[in-house]
């Protein structure tokens, strides 16, 4: 895992842990092509994973963009960490909020959306699409990567 950038202006990195999981806030992870400094808030709570991105302009001490900044164009020289985290985020963010069962996901129903399959039954197991939020467990390699990331950030605090 590559080293973390040193700072993100006035934002201060914090760490909180409880019995169910942990949360890191304002962790600097890299720089965008346009020079913006990028940080993240990460939460892993009872196996539920979420990330929120933060962007700060180069000469500004205040962040101007928060949330799901889907297409951050990281500077090619940015830490591998930033690229790896973005790929994990794309696949696993909100892993506990899936409308379909595993069969419906394989059929692509989640990309179609609820409007196209309202309460439609799964042809394999009979689950009614969208009747509850289903959770996809994070694979061991993702949990290990997140734990290494957490440990590296905490070491730098």
pLDDT tens readout for residues 34-70? 888 888 899 999 999 999 888 888 877 777 778 787 6
> For residues 39 and 81, what is the distance between their CA atoms, to the nearest angstrom?
11
Instruction: Check residue 2 and give its pLDDT.
Output: 47
Instruction: Check residue 154 and give its pLDDT.
Output: 84
Instruction: Check residue 84 and give its pLDDT.
Output: 87
**CA-angle at 105, arms to 104 and 108, nearest 5°:** 90
> For residues 79 and 130, what is the distance between their CA atoms, to the nearest angstrom?
38
Distances (CA, A) of 85 to 60, 69, 98: 24, 13, 21
Mean pLDDT of 16-26: 85
**Two tokens, residue 69:** 């900044």
Centre a 10 Å sphere on the Cβ of residue 24 and count the other Cβ atoms it contains: 23
| Domain boundary assignment for the chain | 1-97+136-157, 98-134
**pLDDT band at residue 77 using 50, 70 and 90 as cut-offs:** low
**pLDDT band at residue 8 using 50, 70 and 90 as cut-offs:** very low
Percent of the chain with pLDDT over 90: 36
**Two tokens, residue 118:** 């309202």
Who's near 131: CB < 8 A, 6+ residues apart?
119
Choose the most confident range, by mean pLDDT, from 23-32, 34-43, 74-83, 114-123: 114-123
Mean pLDDT of 25-42: 84
> For residues 10 and 108, what is the distance between their CA atoms, to the nearest angstrom?
42
> For residues 146 and 99, what is the distance between their CA atoms, to the nearest angstrom?
25
Give tens-digit pLDDT for 86-127: 889 888 999 999 999 999 999 999 889 899 999 999 999 999
Under 8 Å between Cβ of 100 and 110: yes
């Amino acid at each position: 895992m590559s080293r973390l950038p040193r700072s993100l202006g006035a934002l201060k990195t914090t760490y909180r842990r409880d019995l169910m999981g942990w949360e890191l806030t304002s962790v600097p992870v890299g720089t965008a092509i346009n020079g913006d400094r990028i940080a993240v808030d990460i939460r892993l709570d009872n196996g539920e994973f979420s990330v929120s991105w933060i962007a700060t302009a180069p000469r500004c001490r205040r962040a101007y963009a928060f949330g799901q900044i889907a297409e951050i164009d990281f500077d090619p020289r940015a830490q591998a960490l930033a690229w790896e985290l973005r790929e994990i985020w794309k696949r696993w963010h909100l892993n506990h909020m899936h409308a379909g069962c595993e069969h419906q996901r394989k059929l692509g129903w989640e990309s179609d959306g609820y409007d196209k399959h309202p309460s439609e039954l799964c042809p394999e197991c009979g689950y009614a699409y969208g009747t509850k939020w289903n959770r996809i467990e994070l694979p061991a390699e993702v949990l290990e990567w997140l734990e290494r990331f957490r440990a590296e950030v905490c070491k730098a605090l």
